[in-house]
Amino acid sequence: MSKVAEIYQYRVLDSVVRMAKNISDDFFRTSHKYTAVSNEWAENCSKLCYRFGRDPEYPNDLQRYRLSSNVVVNSCSTMVAFRREALRFLEHRDRGVEDTFAESFSDQATALRDSLRSLEEKAVTIQHSQLRSIFDASLMVLKSEISQRLFGISGSISQDWPFDGDFNIRMAYVYEEIFKKIYGSITRVSKDKFLTLQRVAYYGGLIIDELMVEELALDNRDKLIKLAGLAYNWTKGLQDLNARLDISRAWKDPRYLRTLDIVERDITPPNPGGEISLDGSGLGMPGADWFEDQPQSWTMDGEICCCSGFNCSDACTAGCSVNCSEYCGSTSLGFGCQC
């Protein structure tokens, strides 16, 4: 799968990192509960706990948000238009006006493809590398036999989980149980939501990957029908997530807003009264840092689209090393230079 597609999947399934980070934090906070753990497992937890936000290979919540925002920000409006035209194309296939909507859908698919391919290759490579690093480290904690024993995971976990498209119900139960066992309640963390997140990541990733393939022929009707079908499943997954949100509460309640996953905040419409401030509130889901920068949001044709622009180049001063200044200036990522 292309790097851009995987970056999108990492963004949607960011809760996997939060889940592993919460396990690591709990391990060091209540180590007496974790008996007969291996040195390797403890070391993995230690890296995830103490390098978090301090090492480019272990980006924290805000840094991961910024790293993946490049894909969403650059292609936000075109993704919305693409999904809209896909639904229209499917709805009119049997009404004698298919050609008109097929052309419109093809145009939007081309626009999304061009938008995705316009992403700067060097920046995408760095972003993908750092997101993959923290995701792989998290999976090492979750997929280990020790975690399976501690949290009641029976049987082996697929090597490609959570990107294999099987929408693993067993792991969805584990997702819910981990937070329940660590914090005593599941709050908004549920197996149903995690299954929906897997659907969104899987179908969204497939769409992006299809459009990133150089030899893709968008004038091929069979290909358009396949893309429209994937877009339908992608859209329905996002709609299911949106249906679970309490929008008015997200506008008013900082504690509730903090419990939302990145993709849920992506589809939350802007507060007509202005963004709420969480500075200094001390609220939040255990183990998760709130984003310091609030996203700018808007709606398009009734679908929520979230977009933010981040640039850390301002944090690079003359006192920074050459490598640090070059890193920030060339990639516009979310890491501030530590001079």
- Model confidence over 196-231: pLDDT tens digits? 898 999 999 999 998 887 666 666 778 888 889 999
- 334, 66 Cβ separation under 8 angstroms: yes
* Residue bearing tokens 């626009």: 111
Instruction: Give me the pLDDT at residue 238, please.
Output: 93
Please report, for the chain, the start and end positions of each structural domain, with discontinuous segments joined by +. 3-287+296-307, 309-339
CA distance 178 to 200: 22
310-327 burial code (b ≥16 CB/10 A, e <16): bebeebbeeebeeebbeb
- 15, 134 Cβ separation under 8 angstroms: no
DSSP one-letter code for 167: -
Report helix, strand or coil for 298: strand
Q: Which two tokens stand for residue 219?
A: 């004038």
Is residue 310 pLDDT above 80, yes or no? no
**Torsion (CA) 291, 296, 301, 303 in degrees, nearest 10:** 0
- 68, 8 Cβ separation under 8 angstroms: yes
Instruction: Output the pTM of the full model.
Output: 0.78
Quote the strand ranges of the chain, DSSP E: 296-300, 303-307
Instruction: Give me the pLDDT at residue 1, please.
Output: 85
